[in-house]
C-alpha cells in the first residue's frame, strides 16, 4: 500500500472534472497518490530501507544513510 512511513500520508480521493467545466459537467472519482521515494535511512540507529514522501525528505524529517 502506498504510505509514507514518517507522516503516514496515504491515498486520498477526489473528483475529476471534465475539461468543458460547464454547469452540468460530469464528475468521475479519482485517487491522488503520495510522491513516495524509497531511501536508505537511519532508524533506531540502524540502516533501513523505507518509503518516504518527498515532503518529508525536503523538510529534513529523515536522516539519510
Residue 40 included in any domain: yes
2 in any annotated domain: no
Residue 6 within a domain: no
The answer as to whether 64 is a domain residue is no
Would residue 5 count as lying in a domain?
Answer: no
pLDDT greater than 80 at residue 59: yes
Q: Report the number of distinct structural domains present in the chain.
A: 1
Residue bearing the bigger pLDDT, 48 or 24: 48
Q: Is the confidence at residue 13, as pLDDT, over 90?
A: yes
Is the model more confident about 63 or about 20? 63
Within a domain: residue 21?
Answer: yes
Which residues constitute the domain of residue 47?
Answer: 12-59
Q: Could you tell me the pTM of the whole model?
A: 0.76
User: DSSP string covering the chain, please?
Assistant: ----TTT----EEEEEE-SS--TT--EEEEEE---EEEEEEEETTEEEEEEEEHHHHHHT-S-B-
The cell for 52 is 518516504
Q: What is the pLDDT of residue 23?
A: 66
The reported pLDDT for the residue numbered 21 is 66
**Residue 7: pLDDT over 90:** yes
Amino acid at each position: 500500500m502506498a504510505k509514507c512511513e514518517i507522516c503516514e500520508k496515504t491515498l486520498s480521493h477526489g473528483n475529476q472534472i471534465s475539461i468543458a467545466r460547464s454547469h452540468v459537467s460530469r464528475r468521475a472519482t479519482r485517487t491522488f497518490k503520495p510522491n513516495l521515494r524509497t531511501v536508505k535511512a537511519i532508524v533506531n540507529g540502524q540502516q533501513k530501507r523505507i518509503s518516504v514522501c518527498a515532503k518529508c525528505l525536503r523538510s529534513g524529517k529523515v536522516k539519510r544513510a
